[in-house]
Amino acid sequence: MSSNSYLVVGDRTCVIDPGMDPSKVLDRGREDNIGIHGLINTHCHYDHVAANPGILETGEITCYCHNIDAQAIEKGDGSLQLAGLFGEEPVRHRVDQHLEDGNTIDLGGVALEVLHTPGHTPGSICLYEPGERVLFTGDTIFVGGVGRTDFKGGSWDELRDSIGRLAEFDEKRGVERICPGHGPEGEGREIRRVLEVYF
């Protein structure tokens, strides 16, 4: 049930997928003397969004999610969040910025480019940081694996197309490192390898 969370620091700081325990993110921010200004969800599943309310209540924090999955959060849709799998009630709160493919989140000195990569959920996204050529992949792709598609809203065909798009993106823009929602980080060439193994 654990998931990876990432703090991306520019002039402002964003947390990507705070997971299920807000204290872990907030404690790390305090340790490093970093204030959190934004929260981005790569998708709406409970193990990635459960900590959202605990983060958002600490200040004026902008919440970002793709438009499709944002609706599952704003409506508190437990069937799409999969809250029942964790024996919990779904989260329900505002999403300030409904993202679309091609949007850029400017943190001041650091930018995150939004890539819509449906398949694991209809509104799954990846986030590309061009300075260090890092791709935050959520549950679209892992080191040696891909996201599940057997949950509500999942699609194997869409996931195949999304990972194919990421492989093309890597060829054009260059991905040095992938940072997935679960498991270890990996090299960008992992995208092509996973595409060839699974599809």
Per-residue pLDDT reduced to its tens digit, 80-123? 999 999 999 999 999 999 999 999 999 999 999 999 999 999 99
pLDDT of residue 2: 81
**pTM for the structure as a whole:** 0.97
Cα–Cα distance for residue pair 16/6, rounded to 1 Å: 5
**In this structure, what DSSP letter does residue 94 have?**
-
| Residue spans of beta strands (DSSP E) within 83-180 | 97-99, 104-106, 111-116, 125-129, 134-138, 141-142, 145-146, 177-180
Of the candidates 110, 109, 99, 107, the one whose C-alpha atom is nearest the C-alpha of residue 43 is 99
Q: What is the pLDDT of residues 134-187, one digit of tens each?
A: 999 999 999 999 999 999 999 999 999 999 999 999 999 999 999 999 999 999
Question: In the structure, what pLDDT confidence band is assigned to residue 49 with cuts at 50, 70 and 90?
Answer: very high
Do the bridges between strand 111-116 and strand 125-129 make them parallel or antiparallel, or are there none, so unpaired? antiparallel
Residue 63 contacts residue 37 (beta carbons within 8 Å): no
Q: What is the amino acid identity at position 133?
A: R
Domain spans of the chain, in order of start:
6-198
The CATH H-level (homologous superfamily) assignment of domain 6-198 is Ribonuclease Z/Hydroxyacylglutathione hydrolase-like (3.60.15.10)
Q: Are 86 and 47 in contact (CB under 8 A)?
A: yes
Q: How far apart are CA 13 and CA 186, in angstroms?
A: 23
Residues 6 or more apart whose CB falls under 8 angstroms from that of 171 comprise: none
Beta bridge partners of 62: 38
Check whether 1 has a pLDDT greater than 70.
no
